[in-house]
Amino acid sequence: MPSSVTPPELLLPAGDPVKLRYALAYGADAVYFGLAMASLRTPKVKPGQGPQFTPANLPQAISDCHAQGAKAYVTLNIFAANHDLKRIIPHLEQLEDLRPDALIISDPGIIRLAKRHAPYLPIHLSTQANTLNVSACAFWQDLGIERVILAREVPVREMAQIHDELPDLELECFVHGSLCVAYSGRCVISDYLTDNSKNSNKGMCGNSCRWEYENATLQVNETSRPDTVYTFEEDAHGSYMLNSKDLCLLRFLPELMDAGICSFKVEGRTKGIHYVATVGQVYRQAIDTLCAGRSVSTEQWDLWESALKQSANRGFTEGFLHGKPGSNGYTYETSKSRSIATFVAAATGLSDDQGRVQLEGRNPFSTTDALEWLTPNGIIPMPASPIVDIDGRHVEQVHPNHLVWVTPPPTIDQAMVRWSLVRRIEDRQAGVASTADGLS
């Protein structure tokens, strides 16, 4: 990549202030986040987790980004009803004072309000606006939109066409994370299957598409096509009719750079710190390597992809990047995410006069497990060493929420220990069903 070309931005998700700080530590050039009442993704609050984003902590979140030289993008991407607009106006007025680097909006009505109540803030058009073509992009650019987050369904050749015809319009695309089977997330399945308790377009998607539906064999046909029969079958695991694999465009980053994409976005505001750290680190390394003009071997791509599998995933697909994904874009074994590692502990930021650091257990582990440190500077094997609880007793087992002391390897950068995680290496072939991200 020529040095005169601006490197693409790595845009990581944050579902709460803690995840935001991990995103910054693991390489984000920008972080996107927002209040639950205005966001299309609302993380579930679990015991031990910090608060979600609120009007009170938004100033610190934006300040944290700017202190690290990163940009802060605030999401207001719900599909709003009339009663939602009254709540959004004071939020926009606060944001105008806080000066994040951009607002991410999908609803034209909210865009109109933003231009009135936060006129100095750039607007990025959310992927939920389903922007697919150059004419639509030009329409939004004429209305003052500075960046369009393209629909996931846009193939790379058409991304390049849009950039060629509208070179002054910034283009962003998703490169990694969960895929919705509805058009860029416009889905109401969970509205119907959860007694309307989960409004999928206001941050409460119930992931009904990934439920395990039981029906040994179901055959249906549409009345005007009586000779065409669609068969849904169930195996030992159930039926997963709408269960997409996860998007992974790691190997196609060079193509996306050539197509004029200025920001590589990672999905996952509802996911945990292990996911953010793992994915952020891999894409950071890949972008930096490509921007330095270094060639990447097949072996290196394989290593990076293997590293991504350390975090929970449903298998990987390139989605619509080169056309329709077909049957290979779905996973038929399970709706649960699986990984080849389990996130077991996180550093708390405390250390003692013996050089030990404090860890908080997130999943059970023992001193005999094969463990490794995930740090912002790389992955380091965790040698066998004593683990001591806060009362000074040696322990063999650590459980969730337990606080223990360990001696980190001398190769760990002490400035990065605070953001280090510990994980257990599992069967690299089979993987394990993982709830680790949910515990983070």
Per-domain boundaries in the chain: 9-179+244-329, 212-242, 340-439
b or e along 73-101 (b: 16 or more beta carbons within 10 Å of the residue's beta carbon)?
bbbbbbbbeeebeeebeebbebbbebebb
Q: Is the pLDDT of residue 160 over 70?
A: yes
Average pLDDT of the residues in 365-373: 93
Question: For residue 383, what pLDDT is reported?
Answer: 85
Do the Cβ atoms of 330 and 319 come closer than 8 Å?
Answer: no
Quote the strand ranges of 112-223, DSSP E.
123-125, 147-149, 170-177, 217-220
| Length in residues, the chain | 440
Fold observed for domain 9-179+244-329: TIM Barrel (3.20.20)
Instruction: Tell me the C-alpha distance between 162 and 149, whole Å.
Output: 12
> Whose structure tokens read 């590293």?
307
- Model pTM? 0.85
Chain-centroid distance of CA 220 in Å reads: 36
Percent of the chain clearing pLDDT 70 (strictly above): 77
The confidence band for 258, taking pLDDT boundaries of 50, 70 and 90, is very high
Pick the residue with more confidence: 228 or 303?
A: 303
Q: What is the pLDDT of residues 81-118, one digit of tens each?
A: 999 999 999 999 999 999 999 999 999 999 999 999 99
Q: What is the pLDDT of residues 52-73, one digit of tens each?
A: 899 999 999 999 999 999 999 9
DSSP 326-361: GGGGB--S-SS-EESEEEEEEEEEEE-TTS-EEEEE
Do the Cβ atoms of 336 and 415 come closer than 8 Å?
Answer: no
Domain covering 340-439 assigned CATH 3.40.50.150 in the classification:
no
Specify which residues 201 forms β-bridges with: none
Chain-centroid distance of CA 316 in Å reads: 14
